[in-house]
Amino acid sequence: MDTFRLGRTGLQVSRSGFGAIPIQRLSFDDAAVLLRRAYEGGINFFDTARAYGDSEEKIAYALSDVRAHIILASKTMAETPDGFQSDLETSLRNLKTDHIDIYQFHNPAFLPDADHPLYRAALRARREGKIRFISVTNHRLDLAIQMVRSGLFDTMQFPLSALSSAEDLALVELCRAHDVGLIVMKAMSGGLITDPTATFALLRSLGDVVPIWGLQHLWELEQFLALEADPPALTPALRTAIERDKQALAGAFCRACGYCMPTCPAGIQISTAARMSLLLRRMNPAHFVTPEMRALMEAAARCTDCGLCKAHCPYGLDTPALLRREHALYRAYLAEQDATRP
């Protein structure tokens, strides 16, 4: 598989990466088969996070013997230096490594500037050799732009796909101008897009970006390896397919940016409730059927359709309609699970 330079990190990463959210749904042995096949197929970049259940441990289980030949990225949602240090040490143990190549602040709601205690904790970890590059992920375009321009981060991870707007896609050129490596999350829009060909062709046409495909089945992996072997051009037919997907699907994809949440008078946790069906599809469903999650989703039924969230959505989503749909799908999922229990 071809590799490219990931911005100023200088790391040579495979043009397709492995996103490890879904492997928390697999057994250790099944995850190992998938991860090993990815490595043998030429993927050398594996992205995980403290928030992704046991995916760090599964990566170590499958790939510890080839650690010198792979690039590892993980993330922390810590809000204090002590929390940062604890998350980092846990990730190092789980991954069975003495360093993490790309360590990312996981979707912070603010820019951790050079004087912030969290950023200073990252600098200390880099001096100690525990991380190589200080990086960040975000779902909010305005904040992502600030972070890239700040010069503080070596890579940016942001959602891009066939559903992305021209404004979102402009982040590619901004990262290139600042020599910031761009890692693409949610390239399949959390599972809304089912045929990867158009999104693959679009992202490949953008140049040096690395999508981290969220994989949980061998057949999914083989699709992407086949596309890598014979990369499709962004033909007029595929552009037409992309426009068709945008019209059909763009209004159903909540990016969890959080713009709308402070406005909700009913106190609904919109960033979770509005994408529950995608979370159930891609992550460990046991995390989303707890009493707390059931209560969170029942709160979605309190939506009064006031329109404040819709007015604050930068992506033009009909958020109240999305909440109603997700609440109905969640109830149907629970009913199906209850019906299959012995």
Question: Domain residue spans in the chain?
Answer: 3-233, 261-340
* 197 burial type by CB count under 10 A (0-12 exposed, 13-18 middle, 19+ buried): middle
Q: Write the pLDDT tens digit of every residue in 31-51.
A: 999 999 999 999 999 999 999
State residue 7's pLDDT score.
Answer: 98
Residue 342 has pLDDT above 80, yes or no: no
Residue 192 has pLDDT above 90, yes or no: no
State residue 194's pLDDT score.
Answer: 76
Residue 211 has pLDDT above 80, yes or no: yes
| Domain 3-233, CATH | 3.20.20.100
* 19 burial type by CB count under 10 A (0-12 exposed, 13-18 middle, 19+ buried): buried
Beta bridge partners of 161: none
Q: Write the pLDDT tens digit of every residue in 130-173.
A: 999 999 999 999 999 999 999 999 999 999 998 898 999 999 99
